[in-house]
């Protein structure tokens, strides 16, 4: 296949899904795929065998979840608009409002629908202020129990989302304890609680059974159905971005330019100033550079066993989460195709993009 393309490897996706299935079975919690992280529906048939449905951040994600992923469809947005609320309700099993004001605004039209409210516990694990839902002046959820109490009878559940790439069970346990301490009297009046995503429980060495016990205990003591919303945990290490070296040069460092771009194809690397990942080793240092005109379009610096040359193929690792959902047409750089490696090792192209797609995205 012509590079660049994202390659989803089902044999690497499967271990994550099996851990999710184990956690569901041992804890009683339900797992919803967070479409804001990963929405490539060509593998939803496989994922739906191990998960309970989807959760969303917009009308379009709600509709995609309803259309492509069997099971429950939860609808959340930071703010719903008047013109979209009817379609959101028609496409979802549960609707979660970000504020009591939005809940009240749409109380009449949503009456009879299962409704929830986002609660901001004021604590999080995010190391980036940009992604911290509990940052000062956060707009993400109600934070004061006094503002929640007047609308309790209008909802049957809460959503707490305050973890971010949290691989520390002790930290999760402590934060859940603080949530129970502050909001327990409200939680015990609910039927279901979503604890959101950002818990890296599919990572190497994570104490999965301890998490299962904690979730089961939380559900039992508060008499609620627990939901988790894994995104990155679902697809971690499952996907690569396959690229080709187009040119090389030396400017104080060995530079290799590839047929991809972080701003267009792995935007989170730029936003959070992180390096890509590669499974390479050796004694030859090379900086891997994107082909866009952005000066800082750099995948990172890596060691290779030999000098790179035009035509060499490289695999950027862990390229599923927050990549395909954010890809864009900056500079008109060729959009990566999407391919799947089946469990038997065969590969198939499921989507490619052409100039017509680029043109259609504009006006």
pLDDT at 61 (0 to 100): 98
pLDDT at 20 (0 to 100): 98
Cα separation, 119 vs 288, whole angstroms: 42
Cβ proximity of 161 and 123 under 8 Å: no
Cα separation, 175 vs 157, whole angstroms: 19
pLDDT at 258 (0 to 100): 98
Cα separation, 131 vs 136, whole angstroms: 12
Cβ proximity of 141 and 119 under 8 Å: yes
Cα separation, 287 vs 242, whole angstroms: 16
Beta strand 313-316 with 239-250 is antiparallel
pLDDT at 301 (0 to 100): 98
Residues whose CB is less than 8 angstroms from the CB of residue 146 and which lie 6 or more positions away in sequence, other chains included: none
Residue with tokens 């929830």: 116
What are the beta bridge partners of residue 54?
Answer: 33, 73
pLDDT at 172 (0 to 100): 96
pLDDT at 126 (0 to 100): 86
Angle of CA points 19, 24, 27, to nearest 5°: 115
Residue with tokens 């989507």: 351
Instruction: Choose among 161, 164, 174, 166: nearest CA to 130.
Output: 164
What are the beta bridge partners of residue 248?
Answer: 256
pLDDT at 204 (0 to 100): 94
pLDDT at 196 (0 to 100): 96
Cα separation, 263 vs 271, whole angstroms: 9
pLDDT at 199 (0 to 100): 96
Q: Which residues of the chain have pLDDT under 50?
A: none
- State both tokens at 220: 């039992």
Strand positions, DSSP E, the chain = 5-9, 30-34, 53-55, 72-76, 94-97, 114-118, 157-159, 192-194, 225-228, 239-250, 254-258, 284-289, 298-304, 313-316, 337-341, 347-351
Q: Phi/psi of residue 303, each to 5°? A: -105, 135
pLDDT at 65 (0 to 100): 98
pLDDT at 127 (0 to 100): 84
Instruction: Choose among 34, 58, 38: nearest CA to 196.
Output: 34
Beta strand 114-118 with 157-159 is parallel
- State both tokens at 138: 């956060």
């Amino acid at each position: 296949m012509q590079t660049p393309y994202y390659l989803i490897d089902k044999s690497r996706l499967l271990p994550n899904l099996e851990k999710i299935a184990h956690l569901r079975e041992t804890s009683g919690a339900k797992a919803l795929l967070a479409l804001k992280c990963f929405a490539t529906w060509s593998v939803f048939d496989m994922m739906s065998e191990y998960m309970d449905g989807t959760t969303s951040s917009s009308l379009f994600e709600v509709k995609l979840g309803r259309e492509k992923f069997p099971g429950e469809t939860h609808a959340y947005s930071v703010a719903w608009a008047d013109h979209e609320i009817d379609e959101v309700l028609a496409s979802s099993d549960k609707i979660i409002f970000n504020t009591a004001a939005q809940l009240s605004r749409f109380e009449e039209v949503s009456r009879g629908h299962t409704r929830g409210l986002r609660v901001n516990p004021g604590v999080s694990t995010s190391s980036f202020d940009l992604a911290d839902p509990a940052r000062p002046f956060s707009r993400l959820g109600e934070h004061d129990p006094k503002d929640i109490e007047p609308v309790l009878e209008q909802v049957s559940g809460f959503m707490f989302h305050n973890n971010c790439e949290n691989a520390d069970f002790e930290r999760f346990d402590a934060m859940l304890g603080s949530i129970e301490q502050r909001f327990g009297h409200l939680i015990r009046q609910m039927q279901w609680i979503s604890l959101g995503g950002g818990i890296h429980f599919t990572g190497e060495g994570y104490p999965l059974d301890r998490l299962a016990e904690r979730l089961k205990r939380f559900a039992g003591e508060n008499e609620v159905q627990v939901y988790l919303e894994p995104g990155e945990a679902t697809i971690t290490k499952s996907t690569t971005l396959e690229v080709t070296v187009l040119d090389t040069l030396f400017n104080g460092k060995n530079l290799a330019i590839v047929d991809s771009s972080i701003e267009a194809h792995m935007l989170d690397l730029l936003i959070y100033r992180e390096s890509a990942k590669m499974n390479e080793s050796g004694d030859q240092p090379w900086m891997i550079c994107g082909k866009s005109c952005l000066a800082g379009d750099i995948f990172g610096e890596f060691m290779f066993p030999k000098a790179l040359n035009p035509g060499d193929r490289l695999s950027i690792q862990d390229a599923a989460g927050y990549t395909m959902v954010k890809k864009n047409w900056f500079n008109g750089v060729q959009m990566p195709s999407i391919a799947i490696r089946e469990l038997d090792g065969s590969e198939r192209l499921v989507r490619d993009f052409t100039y017509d797609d680029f043109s259609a995205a504009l006006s």
